[in-house]
Amino acid sequence: MDTTNVYLQDWHRRFSGQRFGFFEQCCLENGTTSFEALVTAAALRPQQTVVDLGCGEGPLLRYILRRDVRYIGVDFSAASIAAARQQFGATAAEFVEADAGHMPLSDASCDVVLSHMALHIMQPVEPALFEVARVLKPTGTLHVFLPASWRMHSSAETSRFYDVMHLFEQFKDVSTPTQVGTGKFATEHSIVDIITRGFAGKATVSCTYADLVIHRPPTEALNLFVGWMYSFDLIHDAHKPEAAKTFLTKLIALKDGDGIVRLRRPMAIVSVRKE
């Protein structure tokens, strides 16, 4: 296992049970959560088999339970799988501890694969895509929710979000040099290319966009950067107070007259149909 995956395993162990509702705290511009948007995009039908790839502690299941489907959550983190089983033990959901590149599922056994904020940090990502293509039935679908950083200048609020994110560069020299993210999802074109290759050219790929809306007082907005970002966690402990102060100062400078900071993080739902 490479250093990034070792770090991610450790991160999930350290924060097990603490971050279950993060993406329910910030909604999309239409007022829905990103979980609901992803499930809606999949247009699930009764009796389908649905795989939640990189399921973590199972937050997506809350929205899938409303459908009459078979749910299989797959994650390589033992801590996350244990937390998910504890949370949803009374349901018929299945949780499997496995690497995305080696899923213990039969060929053409699944109708839909969903991945919420996970595929873009899987390293290497190619084996995961090969596996998704393998386990999907003919005409099965993959739906992925991930950041759309190439749209960072799509509005003033998205530009402000990335102005804040760029502060992490100031602390690069006092951070553990671990890269989280494949770097292969930097543009819509690169996403279409890598997914199409993962499906051996036999896939139709499309993207839809929505922004994650962050309209909060500076101290609350701060928690989204220092409490949830891998980049902050990787800063050496001795420098984290300085980093938090730097972020807060920036957020205070960005607040409007009513005391609210208005930021947006551009996101994408990538939908893939196997041919």
Position 12 confidence tier, pLDDT thresholds 50, 70, 90: confident
Domains of the chain, CATH where assigned: 3-10+23-274 (3.40.50.150)
Alpha-helix residue ranges (DSSP H) falling in the chain: 3-14, 22-25, 34-42, 61-64, 78-88, 126-135, 156-165, 188-198, 218-226, 230-233, 240-254
Which residues are paired to 204 by β-bridges?
273
141-192 confidence digits (pLDDT tens): 999 999 999 999 999 999 999 999 999 999 999 999 998 987 889 999 999 9
Model confidence at 194: pLDDT above 80: yes
Share of the chain above pLDDT 70, in %: 97
Can you tell me whether residue 129 is helix, strand or coil? Answer: helix
pLDDT recorded at residue 220: 94
Q: 9-18, 146-155, 160-169, 216-225: lowest mean pLDDT where?
A: 9-18
Q: Which two tokens stand for residue 182?
A: 């494949």
Q: Which two tokens stand for residue 157?
A: 């609020």
Q: Write down the pTM of the prediction.
A: 0.95
Query: Could you give the strand order of the β-sheet that contains 203-216, starting from the edge strand earlier in sequence?
Result: 94-97, 70-75, 49-53, 110-116, 136-147, 261-274, 203-216
pLDDT recorded at residue 21: 62
32-90 confidence digits (pLDDT tens): 999 999 999 999 999 999 999 999 999 999 999 989 999 999 999 999 999 999 999 88
Q: Classify residue 19 by burial, with Cβ atoms within 10 Å: 0-12, 13-18, 19+.
A: middle
Model confidence at 18: pLDDT above 70: no
245-272 confidence digits (pLDDT tens): 999 999 999 999 999 999 999 999 999 9
